[in-house]
Structure 1
Amino acid sequence: MPVVVSLVIVVGAICLLDLVLTVGVIRRLREHSTLISELGGGRMPVPMLQDGETADAFEAVATTGEVVSRDGLSGNTLVGVFSPDCSACKERLPGFIRLARSFSGGRDRVVAVVAEMGGDTEFYRRELEPVARVVIEREGTGINKALHVKAFPAFGILGEAGKVVVSGLDPEQVVTPAAA
């Protein structure tokens, strides 16, 4: 009988210690959650230039031979920036294509940039050419650089002279009354 009592006391002590440690871990997780939200401000990362900022000058040649430049933009232009190795890019591609099809001004006012980082750029070219002027360029150059792209996919609407009207990580975020 004394052995059973001793075992019950040991098991009880272990359970009590486990409970104290679990409460400590939960408290620490709450502190970390608070710190992370304060650091990030609770906001999504900024994928490219923000509303009101102006893109640097750029000039690129689309896959169909058309020249695309900041100074050549007229009216609002829908821009999508993709990376072939990005799973979120493939996931959001259909939404961008839907938005591009209904965008005021048609294909002439839609630019799709594919960052050449390996992967199947041909897939993006085939999917996007019917609705956009497609530019394939190395990451960090050309239009990517002019828009200060920091995350993929990135979407935005550029107004006259390359001023960003709206930008975001999802094509649904760039719908404005002017885009509809």
Structure 2
Amino acid sequence: MTFLLVLTVFVGLLCTLDLLLTLGVIKRLREHTELLAAARSAPPAAQVGDTIGEFHTVAVDGSPVGADALRGETLVGFFSPTCRPCQEKLPRFAELAAARGGRRAGALAVVVTEEDDAAEFVAALEPVARVVVEQRQGPVGRAFKAHSFPTVLMVESDGERLPVVTDSRVALDVPAGTSA
């Protein structure tokens, strides 16, 4: 009889422990669900009408790049060498930048990487755009609130005020001359 009593108490304690652990797992799953929902609802970058913050950095050619240097309409792209869609859309961005009359000042490309793997992207972009290589959440990324890749924006500034986003969904999968 004592054996059955001890066994019943042991099973009861084991079930209580299992219940507590299950409740802990459920709580963590709810927290993760909330975090994922918040991440999905955040836009990939600044949106139409947003003013771009101040930033100062140096392009790969050594020239200074800042918000005040973005004059007129400027095509801005954020790419990461580890991102497959970036690799697929990079040639189209270069084509769009080249179509802007060959003025490198009309396009800014930001290659976001934590390693030394930007050479291929820089080589493809440098003839048609000012190119900046920076780590995630570098000065340009913070100013444009860019955290998804590829991100392509159109900004405009008269040189006296900070640039404003005029298009936050520049289509890179549409042939030139076709409207999205």
**TM-score, scaled relative to structure 2:** 0.68
1:125-174 deviations in Å (ceiling 9; x for gaps): 1111000110001110110110001210000111102100101274358x
Say which SS state the counterpart of residue 124 (structure 1) adopts.
helix
- Higher mean alpha-carbon deviation, 102-111 vs 47-56, is at 102-111
Q: CA deviation at 1:84?
A: 1.0
CA contact (8 A) 2:89 2:173 kept: no
Query: Within the alignment, does 1:166 sit opposite 2:167 as a pair?
Result: yes
- 2:12 alignment counterpart: none
Judge conservation of contact 2:152–2:170 (CA < 8 Å) in 1. Answer: yes
Residue in 2 aligned with 1:83?
Answer: 80
> Deviations for 1:41-73, whole angstroms, at most 9, x for unmatched residues?
xx9973210111011101110000111110122
Query: Is this contact kept in 1: 2:79–2:111, CA < 8 A?
Result: yes
* Residue in 2 that maps onto 1:109: 106
1:60 partner SS: strand
2:11 corresponding residue in structure 1: none
CA 114–75 in structure 1, closer or farther in 2 if over 3 Å, else same: same
Moved more, 161-170 or 130-139: 161-170
**How many positions carry a matched residue from both structures?**
135
2:142 maps to which of 133, 141, 145:
145
Task: Please give the alpha-carbon distance, in whole angstroms, between the structure 1 residues aligned to 2:154 and 2:93.
Answer: 12
Q: Which AA in structure 1 matches 2:169?
A: G
Q: Is the 8 A contact 2:70 2:105 kept in 1?
A: no
Q: In 2, Cα distance between the equivalents of 1:103 and 1:118?
A: 30
The answer to whether structure 1 residue 55 and structure 2 residue 56 are counterparts is: no
Q: Give the root-mean-square deviation of aligned CA atoms.
A: 2.6
SS at match of 1:112: strand
Q: Residue 118 of structure 1: CA displacement?
A: 2.9
CA distance in 2, matches of 1:61, 1:149: 18
Q: In structure 2, what residue type is equivalent to 1:61?
A: V
3-state SS of paired residue (1:98):
helix
Instruction: Look up the match of 2:34.
Output: none
For 1:169 and 1:90, locate their aligned partners in 2 and report how far apart those are by CA, in whole Å: 16
- Equivalent residue letter for 1:64: D
Percent identity (aligned):
36
Runs of 4 or more off by more than 4 Å in structure 1?
none
The two structures have a TM-score, normalised by structure 1, of 0.68
